[in-house]
Amino acid sequence: KAGVTQTPRYLIKTRGQQVTLSCSPISGHRSVSWYQQTPGQGLQFLFEYFSETQRNKGNFPGRFSGRQFSNSRSEMNVSTLELGDSALYLCASRAFRGSYGGTAYEQYFGPGTRLTVT
Amino acid sequence: GDSVTQMEGPVTLSEEAFLTINCTYTATGYPSLFWYVQYPGEGLQLLLKATKADDKGSNKGFEATYRKETTSFHLEKGSVQVSDSAVYFCACPNAGGTSYGKLTFGQGTILTVHP
C-alpha cells in the first residue's frame, strides 16, 4: 500500500505571498492532519479533516487554512507569508476507525514539504 | 491540557550500548501512546505503539511499556546500532474538537550512535 504523499517537497516563497500544499493520504484512510515542525517550537498541530469537515484545530492564526476533498486528499493554504512560517509541514493520515471498529489513533506521516520564506 | 515530556537531549552512545529515552505524559483518559522516529530529511515513522495500560509495544529491537501508575512510556533498546541515529518523539493522541486527530508530541530526543 502506498504511503502518504506530499507535494511539493520543497518550496521557496517571498514574504506576503501565499502558498498551497497538497497531501494524498494512504488509500482507505479518511482522516488527514497537518503539523508544522520548526527547530524552536517542535511539532505543532494545525488541523484535522475528516469527511471534508474540519474536526479539530490548533492555535494558529487564520492565515493558515485547509480543506479536504471527497477523495480524502487535503490541501493547506498559508496566506500573507511571514518569515516565521518557514518550516517543515507534515501531513498525516489515519483510518479514523480501526479494523475492530474502535477509534484508530495512529497516524502515518508523509515526507513533508519544506517551506522557506525569504 | 494534555502534554508529553521527554528527557532532555541529545543522547550520544557507542554502538551496542543500552538506550533509554524517558517519556511521561498527562492525558485525559488513557488513549494509545506512540513512539515516532525521524531520520534526517524525512518525515516521521511510527516506531511502536501501545493501546492500553500495561501494553508493551515493540519493533526493530525497541520496546516501550505503557505504565499508567507512573504515566510513563519509556523507550528502550538493548543494543543500539549506528543506523539508529535519528530523532525520537513520544506522542499521545488528544481528545479535542470532535475527534482524536491531534497528536501531542514531546520535544524530541536526538540520538547519535558512534561506531
**pLDDT above 90: percentage of residues in chain A:** 86
Nearest partner of A72 among A49, A45, A88, judged by Cα: A49
Q: State the number of CA atoms in the 13 A half-sphere of B6 facing the CB.
A: 25
Chain A positions touching B103 (Cβ under 8 A) are 33, 35, 43, 45, 92, 107
**Model pLDDT for residues A46-101, shown as the tens digit of each residue:** 999 999 999 889 999 999 999 999 999 999 999 999 999 999 999 999 987 776 66
- Residues 6+ away with beta carbon under 8 Å from A39: none
Which pLDDT band, with edges at 50, 70 and 90, does A21 fall under? very high
Reported as a single tens digit per residue, the pLDDT across B45-80 is 999 999 888 999 999 999 999 998 899 999 999 999
Chain B CB contacts of A109 under 8 Å are: 36, 43-46
pLDDT grade for B1, boundaries at 50, 70 and 90: low
Q: What is the reported pLDDT for B26?
A: 85
B87-100: average pLDDT: 79
* DSSP 8-state assignment for residue B51: -
Q: Identify the closest residue of chain B to A31 by CA–CA distance.
A: B101
Q: How near does any CA of chain A get to the CA of B105, in Å? A: 6
